[in-house]
Chain A
Amino acid sequence: MNTVDRLSVLKTYKLYVGGKFPRSESGRVYEVTDSKGTWLANAPLASRKDARDAVTAARKAFGGWSGATAYNRGQILYRVAEMLEGRRDQFTAEVAAAEGLSKAKAAAQVDAAIDRWVWYAGWSDKVAQIAGSANPVAGPYFNLSSPEPTGVVAVLAPQDSSFLGLVSVIAPAIVTGNTVVVAAAEDAPLPALSLAEVLATSDLPGGVVNILSGRTAELGAPLAAHQDVNALDLAGAGQELATELEKAAADNLKRVLRPGTVNWTADPGTGRLLSFLETKTVWHPMGV
């Protein structure tokens, strides 16, 4: 019998862009440590070019994803929850390492994140019913308002919650048909990069969610200035960075969701869901 301990196989973490797992085009990586400073992995340090590639992928995916039926999108979000459930232990370990939590506390975060996918999955075919309306105009017209996705949403994931926070900003944006480019929590990107592996195997079309790891400020700048990004979720930006990015976002009038203090374990409400929707009103005369 061999008494030598088995050497474990380390994972090379990669970005998730357009349904593929590229290394950063820059070839750069940065050290990710646990809360005690112990080295965990080298994460790709995504560049501005990676951010632009991710926007291109998200735009390409938008037509198909926004055109899919709400029923289909709901099924896929639920599928993500199914796939996560099977990898619960892996994510518990990663979240525990990333956030310095006990195993029990990390497991609670993962469970809440799985449940959040389920919760948002159910919104796909209901949001139009609470956010739309039939409008009784003073004339012989059929007049209906319905919500539509804003387009490509750039998301700076929360820094204080590497997985539950991450899921809480991705799911509401995509369930309504938007596609997203996510900058993962800067110091704790590994749960996000592993989530990509789950998304890739959950029937989610490539490009709907694109995940980058790196410096939030470095990735935020090109995303906020990008003319083909329609909205910005600044959850993971500090006040100073948020102000700077909101100014840049004004160039093409991106919809901006400002950062705030959020309790990620609380009921999320519909705020985030409705922030990345437009309302389209259609008029048609009625007569015979």
Chain B
Amino acid sequence: MTFDYAPAPESRAVVDIAPSYGLFIDGEFAPASDGKVFKTVSPSSEEVLSEVAQASAEDVDRAVKAARKAFEKWSALPGAERAKYLFRIARIIQERSRELAVLESLDNGKPIRESRDADLPLVAAHFFYYAGWADKLDHAGYGANPRPLGVAGQVIPWNFPLLMLAWKIAPALATGNTVVLKPAETTPLSALFFADICRQAGLPKGVVNILTGDGSTGASLVGHPGIDKVAFTGSTEVGKAIARTVAGTDKKVTLELGGKAANIVFDDAPLDQAVEGIVNGIFFNQGHVCCAGSRLLVQESVADELLDALKRRMRTLRVGDPLDKNTDIGAINSAEQLARITALADAGEAEGAERWSPSCELPSSGYWFAPTLFTGVTQAHRIAREEIFGPVLSVLTFRTPAEAVEKANNTPYGLSAGIWTEKGSRMLWMANKLRAGIVWSNTFNKFDPASPFGGYKESGYGREGGRHGLEAYLAPSSPEGAR
């Protein structure tokens, strides 16, 4: 006799999505100058949720001008006043978190369990954290009286739409900058709801501007001569294009790009905890995580035991309706992304790795990909080198700690890494040797506004979060100094 879970759907009634949305410029919603729109769909059902404006270069110009105009007064406000606006925003996010979580799961496809328990609490926490910095910038270590840069052009991805918005907007506003933010094409809705939160908080007009659109809107924003700072989270390929665009300008840039993290399990690791960490590392948010632990490096002597336990655990993962509270893995964000994941997984098979997935029934409409494990992977395989950005784990083995370091660092990326061992000295030795911006030891995929996040090498430059996250939005008081 088997016990099945009864469906436990979260109500959609808490969120009211309008049939169409304009651009949020200078405190007002307005259609795109050329009237262009595009549709945003729910990836779990392919249902059209709403129609949003496609911002043109002219709209970008208007938004940058609005932000520039607002900058004068906003940057001149005492830090304590700016702080109060950010505290208000944090509070309103908490009040509306259920609504926003449902909206995020609808538009993005991520399980409600994650949007409710991970995304939204972190979104509020980021505004609280940076609110507290606004009147303490003299103590941040960037000199006395550091200056804001001006207008920040921010482009964010679709994997954590509201969380990435919070990572970008909270430090920018705390330091006295104004922003023009472009959410991802496939997940524009929560940013537009955030515009309404800015209105409720009484934020001065033009301080936050939201432009929906595709890559061309992002390119116009990044290339606009009126912005002083570019902040981008997304693919390494686009990051490189942005770095070329801003070459020779005075624009300050931070880039949070791709990753191919090694999650390294030693033979003395607590295996059950490690299995949970591996699952969380690669299947959190359908693997749509730049810091996902997509390369499992396991010590040869425990490889079989660990893989058995991992497969056992993977059989319990529930794939399906993102709004069901029991769902572990939701929908792939878009048809395009599903095609990319499918192609790379097929390449893994073609190159000789062994593919395994638990048997699971996928819904008939929407975009889905079963949690997938590849064994017999070598370092030359594409699935071990390229970022897949989906629920696909490649397993490699090693014998010595030195070999683990060698393999872990054998990538152009350097965003994150995981270490599983009970031996403290080994953990610290490994953490020291790994060329990655975040090292999770005996844990994985932990985030906190107080903790700096960002990569080495081709995972981009700059840090978000913590005291370090302020640097990206400040000019030192002395003219000589960092970029």
List residues of A whose CB falls within 8 A of some B CB: 130-131, 133, 135-139, 141, 143, 145, 150, 230, 239, 242-244, 246-247, 249-253, 255-258, 260, 262-263, 266, 268-272, 274-275, 278-285
Contacts and interface: CB of A to CB of B under 8 A. Distances in A.
A283 B450 CA distance: 12
8 contacts: A137-B448, A138-B125, A145-B451, A247-B247, A249-B243, A258-B483, A269-B143, A285-B443
Contacts of A250: 240-241, 243-244, 247
B453 interface: yes
Contacts of A239: 248
Contact of B248 (A242, A252, A274): A242
A137 B255 CA distance: 23
B451 A251 contact: no
B171 interface: no
Interface stretch (B4-12, B79-87, B392-400, B460-468): B460-468
Interface stretch (B56-64, B186-194, B432-440): B432-440
B293 interface: no
A253 B236 contact: yes
A243 B247 contact: yes
A270 B451 CA distance: 22
B453 A281 contact: yes
A138 B449 CA distance: 9
Given A243-B247, A253-B240, A253-B460, A281 B451 contact: yes
B226 interface: no
B451 A137 contact: yes
Smallest CB-CB A-B distances: 7 pairs: A243-B248, A271-B481, A250-B243, A246-B247, A137-B448, A247-B247, A284-B441
Contacts of A247: 243-244, 247-248
Contacts of B241: 250
Given A250-B243, A250-B244, A280-B436, 19 more contacts: A135-B452, A137-B448, A138-B125, A139-B446, A242-B248, A247-B244, A247-B247, A250-B247, A253-B457, A257-B482, A263-B480, A270-B482, A271-B480, A271-B482, A275-B482, A281-B452, A283-B441, A283-B443, A283-B451
A269 B481 contact: yes
Given A137-B450, A246-B248, A282 B441 contact: yes
Interface string B419-448: 000000001000100001111111100101
A252 B243 CA distance: 10
A269 B450 contact: no
A247 B448 CA distance: 34
Contact of B480 (A230, A266, A283): A266
B468 A279 contact: yes
A269 B477 CA distance: 11
A251 B240 contact: yes
A262 B240 CA distance: 28
B411 to A, nearest CB: 12
B357 interface: no
Nearest to A278: B456
B363 interface: no
Nearest to A268: B480
B458 A252 contact: yes
